[in-house]
Structure 1
Amino acid sequence: MKNVTDSFVSLGHWPPAGSFGFNTDIFATNLINLSVVLGVLIFFGKGVLSDLLDNRKKRILDTIRNSDELREGAIEQLEKARARLQKVETEADQFRTNGYSEIEQKKENLINSTYKILEQLENNKNETIQFEQQRAINQVRQQVFQQALQRALGDLNSCLDTELHLRTISANIGLFGVMKEIID
């Protein structure tokens, strides 16, 4: 341990007279030297330290102000975004409602147009059926008329003899003569 103490003592020796130096021997320094050093540090360091602290305080306050401004800007943007979202949701609801009502309207129109087409097809079917019925009735009438005419001609030919035939011809010629006189 003596060697350690000797090494401290040799480091802490006083410099020769006329030179300036620090006494590194902590035990040998006195309170006055420490007071002088602290006084010098406080006197000269006070301005620098005060400036450093003021600059630091100013930067902190500027950072807080900037943070507050950014926060207020973010809140304002958030409110704007919420308003835009609300507007978009309202428009989407309107589009949805309008879309559904438009779809319902188109469905109603399609049903109505389909009903009208079916009604028209039904009318055309009924007209076609009536036309075909009338045509069939006319064909039956023609066939009945032809059969009746053929029967009548057959009956006339069987009933008419030559004398009755000549009288019918003379009566018809007489009728034509009267009609000619009336016309002239």
Structure 2
Amino acid sequence: MKNVTDSFISLDYWPSAGSFGFNTDILATNPINLSVVLGGLIFFGKGVLNDLLDNRKQRILNTIRNSEELRGGVIEELEKARTRLRKVEMEADQYRVNGYSEIEQKILSLRTSASTTLEQLENNKNETIHFEQQRAINQIRQRVFQQALQGALETLNSCLNTELHLRIISANIGMFGAMKEITD
């Protein structure tokens, strides 16, 4: 063993020490040692490598499974949100329709109220005109009656003499007396 260590320490054993190159001597490269080391690595490293790959595979599968679960949850939430959106849209449409129908009802009510008010105003106007006409007619009648009465009195006073005056008074007294007898 001393020779082996000396050979590694001594640079005389390797003539090309300090330069790089390929050694084509099969015995010098020690293929048996390399095959044993490689075989050991493959035999023992295979389990470790398989364990690492299995762990990696499990993590990837778990990540995919979690992603699928999250995706399912997100899809479910999306469907719930879409359902709520459709419900809100239907309610908004209902409010819109109700709002329009309420506006139309108010417009119809205002039109009816305005029509009724106009009819009442027209009736009041007609009644006022009729009342004013009746008042004007009554005033004219009173004036005509007063003028006719005044004219009749003037005619009577101008045509009436004392004798005719006494006869009219006697005739009226007689009529009042006859009326008194009938009522008693």
Q: Offset of 1:175 from its aligned partner?
A: 1.9
Could you tell me which amino acid in structure 2 is paired with residue 45 of structure 1?
G
Q: Give the deviation of 1:97 after TM superposition.
A: 2.2
**2:120 maps to which residue?**
120
Name the counterpart of 1:48. 48
Distance across 2 between alignment mates of 1:180 and 1:131: 41
| TM-score, normalised with respect to structure 2 | 0.79
- Per the TM alignment, residue 33 of structure 1 is displaced from its structure 2 partner at its CA by 2.0
What is the Cα deviation at residue 14 of structure 1? Answer: 5.9
> Could you say which residue in structure 2 is the equivalent of 1:91?
91
2-side partners of 1:115 and 1:178: how far apart? 64
Structure 1 residue 166 corresponds to structure 2 residue 166 = yes
Aligned to 2:110: 110
Q: Which runs of 5+ in 1 are unaligned?
A: 1-9, 16-24
> Bigger CA drift: 141-150 or 26-35?
26-35
Deviation for aligned residue 1:47: 2.5
Q: Which runs of 5+ in 2 are unaligned?
A: 11-19
Partner of 2:8: 13
Q: Number of paired residues?
A: 165
The structure whose RCO (Cα within 8 Å, separation 6+) is larger is: 1
Runs of 4+ with >6 A deviation? none
| Aligned-partner residue type, residue 35 of structure 1 | S
Q: Compute the RMSD of aligned alpha carbons.
A: 2.4
Tell me the distance in 2 between the aligned counterparts of 1:43 and 1:139: 140
Which residue pairs with 2:78 in the alignment? 78
Give the secondary structure class of the aligned counterpart of 1:13: helix
Deviation of 1:179 (Å): 2.4
Residues 132, 141 of structure 1: alpha-carbon distance in 2 compared, 3 angstrom cutoff: same
C-alpha distance in 1 between matches for 2:114 and 2:181: 68
More displaced 10-residue stretch of structure 1: 37-46 or 56-65 = 37-46
Residue 180 (structure 2) aligns with: 180
SS at match of 1:76: helix
Superposed CA offset, 1:2-60 (max 9, x none): xxxxxxxx9x8169xxxxxxxxx995542222222223323332322222111111000
1:148 equivalenced with 2:124 (yes/no): no
- Range 38-47 or range 148-157, more displaced: 38-47
Per-residue CA deviations over 1:62-93 (Å, capped at 9, x if unaligned) read: 11111111112222222222222222222222
2:108 and 2:122 mapped to 1: Cα distance?
21
SS at match of 1:64: helix
* Equivalent position SS for 2:8: coil
CA distance in 2, matches of 1:158, 1:96: 91
Percent pairwise identity: 75
Give the equivalent residue in structure 1 for 2:31: 31
Residue 22 of structure 1 aligns with which residue? none
Paired letter, 2:53: L
Deviation at 1:141, TM superposition (A): 0.5
CA distance in 1, matches of 2:104, 2:182: 78
